[in-house]
Chain A
Amino acid sequence: MAESYFLTDPRRLLEDWLSAGWRVIAPLLRDDALVPDILHDPDALPRGYTDQQAPGRYRLVPGDSERWFDAVVGPQGWKRWLHPPERKLWSARRGETGFEVTPDTEDWPATIFFGVRPCDLAAIARQAEVFRRAGDPAYTTRLAATRIVAVNCGRSAETCFCASMQTGPGARSAHDLALTEIEGGLLVEIGSKDGTAMLEGRALPTATPAQVQQAALRIEAAATSQPRAMPAKIAKRLQEVPDDPHWEEIASRCLHCANCTAVCPTCFCTDVTDRTSLDGKTAERWQRWDSCFSLDFSFLNGGPVRSSTAARYRQWMTHKLSSWHEQFGSSGCTGCGRCITWCPAGIDLVAEAGALAKGE
Chain B
Amino acid sequence: MIDPVRIPSALLPRLFRVVENCPELSDVSTLAILPVDGTLDAGRPGQFNMLYAFGVGEIAISISGNPSDNSALLHTIRNVGAVSGALCALREGATLGLRGPFGTPWPLTDQTGRDLLFIAGGLGLAPLRSAILQALAMRSAFRSISLLVGARSPSQILYPAQLADWAGGGALRLSLTVDRAIPGWTGMVGVVTTRLERALEGCDPANVSALVCGPEVMMRHCCLALEDMGVPSSAQWISMERNMKCATGSCGHCQFGPDFVCRDGPVFRWDRIAERLRIREI
- Do the two chains touch directly in the complex (Cβ atoms below 8 Å apart)? yes
A residues lining the B interface (CB < 8 Å): 20-22, 89-90, 92, 94, 97-101, 103-110, 130-131, 133-138, 141-142, 144-145, 242-243, 268-274, 276, 280, 283, 285, 287, 290, 292, 297-301, 305-308, 310-311, 315, 319, 322-323, 326-327
Q: Which among A98, A144, A299, A319 is the interface contact of B15 at CB below 8 angstroms? A: A98
* A270 and B250 form a contact (CB under 8 A): yes
B249: A residues at CB distance < 8 A? 133-134
Top 5 closest pairs, chain A to chain B, by CB = A98-B95, A269-B252, A103-B9, A134-B250, A311-B281
| Complex Cα spacing A100 to B13, Å | 10
* B11 and A98 form a contact (CB under 8 A): no
B residues lining the A interface (CB < 8 Å): 1-13, 15, 17, 36, 54-58, 78, 80-81, 93-95, 97, 241-243, 245-246, 248-253, 255, 257-258, 260, 279-282
* A105 and B2 form a contact (CB under 8 A): no
* A276 and B55 form a contact (CB under 8 A): yes
| Complex Cα spacing A105 to B9, Å | 5
* A268 and B4 form a contact (CB under 8 A): no
Say what secondary structure dominates the interface of chain B: loop
* B255 and A270 form a contact (CB under 8 A): no
Q: Which among A21, A273, A274, A308 is the interface contact of B281 at CB below 8 angstroms? A: A308
A300: B residues at CB distance < 8 A? 241-243
Say what secondary structure dominates the interface of chain A: mixed
A268: B residues at CB distance < 8 A? 250, 252
Q: Which among A130, A134, A272, A292 is the interface contact of B58 at CB below 8 angstroms? A: A272
| Complex Cα spacing A112 to B15, Å | 39
Give 8 A-B contacts (CB < 8 Å), ordered by A residue.
A22-B1, A100-B15, A101-B13, A108-B5, A142-B5, A145-B5, A276-B55, A305-B281
| Complex Cα spacing A90 to B11, Å | 8
* B1 and A110 form a contact (CB under 8 A): yes
A89: B residues at CB distance < 8 A? 9-12
* A274 and B4 form a contact (CB under 8 A): no
B241: A residues at CB distance < 8 A? 300
